[in-house]
Amino acid sequence: MRASELTDCKHEYFPRSFGELLDFHIYHSVRRCVGKGEPFVVVGGDHSCSYSSILATSSLLGKMTIIQVDAHHDRHKVPFLTNYTLFHHLAEVPGLSVHHFGNRDEKQQPSTKRELEAIDLTLPLYISFDVDCYSPNRVPSVNFPIPKDNDQDVEIFFEWIDSARPTICGVDLVEWSRPSSHSDVEDSFVFELFKRICSLAVQ
C-alpha cells in the first residue's frame, strides 16, 4: 500500500475524552464495517480497545481465530477488564480461539514458526498487533519496553502471513503514540508498519 492510498480510507476518530463511551463507539464503528464487508484497522492507545473491536467482529461472524502479537501476554486472571487482562477474558468468549506470538515477559520461551503453522486458519482471522513486540531500539517511546536482541520473530510472523494467505476479518495496531520528543526515524518506522498492517486488512 502506498502512502497516497491512505487518503482513500474512511477515518473515524474517538478521543479519550469520550471516557466510558469510547468502547461503545469502537464497537459500533467496527460492527458497521464488518456488516458492510469493509476491511478495517483499529489504531489505538492501550490494548484494551481491541476488546470492543474483537467482540464487534465476532458478534457478526461468530467463530474466529485471534492472534495477539505482543511483548506482553496481557492475560492476567483478574475479574475486571484492563489492557493487562483482556486476552484472559477474550479466551472465555464462546467461539473465540486465542493464540499468542512474540510474548517475552515473565521469561516465556520465544515463539516459533511451528506455533503459527499449528493455528487453524479455516476460521476468519483477527490480528491484534502491539508495537512493543519490536525491540525498544526500534520503538523507544513505548511505555513498558522489554529488551530484545532482534526482531526476527516479527519477520517470521509477517512471512507466515504472506505465505498462508488467511482470511483476515480485522486488524488492530496498538500501544504507540507519538511522543513530544519524537524521532523522525521512529515516526517513519511506525508509519511503514501502519501501512504494512493496512495491507493485511485489505489482502
* Whole-number Å distance between alpha carbons of 3 and 20: 33
Report pLDDT digits (tens) over 120-136: 999 999 999 999 999 99
> Is a pLDDT exceeding 80 seen at residue 6?
no
Give the model's pLDDT for residue 180. Answer: 67
* Model confidence band, residue 107 (pLDDT cutoffs 50, 70, 90): confident
Using the predicted structure, report yes or no on whether residue 1 has a pLDDT greater than 70: no
pLDDT at residue 121, rounded to an integer: 94
Domain boundaries of the chain, sorted by first residue: 39-201
pLDDT digits (tens, 9 = 90+) for 10-20: 888 888 888 88
Place of cell 481491541: 50
Give the model's pLDDT for residue 55. 97
For 19, left (φ over 0), alpha (ψ -120 to 50), or beta? Answer: left
pLDDT tens for 164-194 read 999 999 999 998 877 666 678 898 999 999 9
- pLDDT for 198 equals 92
Give the pLDDT score at 162.
Answer: 94
Q: What is the model's pLDDT at position 3? A: 43
Residue (of 42, 127, 55, 68) closest to 95 by Cα position: 55
pLDDT at 5 over 60: no
Length of the chain in terms of residues written: 203
Residue-level pLDDT at 135: 95
Q: Summarize pLDDT for 68-94 with one digit per residue, the tens.
A: 999 999 999 999 988 899 999 999 999
pLDDT at 2: 42
**Residues sharing a CB contact under 8 Å with residue 69, sequence separation 6 or more, in sequence order:** 101, 102, 127, 128, 129, 130, 133, 154, 157
Q: State mean pLDDT over 21-37.
A: 94
pLDDT value for 60: 97
Q: Identify the residue whose cell numbers are 502471513.
A: 161
Q: Which CATH architecture has domain 39-201?
A: 3-Layer(aba) Sandwich (3.40)
CA pair distance 41, 53, nearest whole angstrom: 10
